[in-house]
Structures are given as structure tokens and as C-alpha cells.
């Protein structure tokens, strides 16, 4: 689920802050995915 949500953040459908506010349990996984994809700029 974290990888899916991270991809949606990359696609522009959601913001990092919106997702992590609703699902704080996914934050670590989302950060890992975004970092692996070279999109650290999306981490707020």
C-alpha cells in the first residue's frame, strides 16, 4: 500500500502531507519508495 500511495504522490494525485496525515503508518514506506525513485523533493 505504501508503494502505491507513493506512486500516486509522484503522479500528483495526492500530496505527501495529505497521505501521511490520513495514514501515518505508511510514512516510513512512502519515504523509502520516494527516496528510491529519486523524488526526495516530494517529502514534506
Q: What is the pLDDT of residue 36?
A: 98
Q: Given its phi and psi angles, is residue 15 left (phi above 0), alpha (psi -120 to 50 degrees) or beta?
A: beta
Q: What is the pLDDT of residue 35?
A: 98
Which residue range is the domain that position 24 belongs to? 2-42
Mean pLDDT, residues 12-37 taken together: 97
Cα–Cα distance for residue pair 37/22, rounded to 1 Å: 22
Q: What is the pLDDT of residue 39?
A: 97
State the total domains in the chain.
1
**Residue 37 grid coordinates:** 525513485
Q: What is the pLDDT of residue 25?
A: 98
Cβ neighbours around 15 below 10 Å, total? 13
Question: For the whole model, what pTM was predicted?
Answer: 0.92
Mean pLDDT, residues 26-34 taken together: 98
Mean pLDDT, residues 5-26 taken together: 97
**Residue 39 grid coordinates:** 523524488
Amino acid at each position: 500500500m505504501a508503494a502505491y500511495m507513493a506512486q500516486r504522490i509522484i503522479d500528483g494525485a495526492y500530496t505527501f502531507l495529505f497521505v501521511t496525515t490520513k495514514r501515518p503508518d505508511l510514512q516510513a514506506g512512502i519515504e523509502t519508495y520516494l527516496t528510491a525513485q529519486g523524488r526526495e523533493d516530494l517529502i514534506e
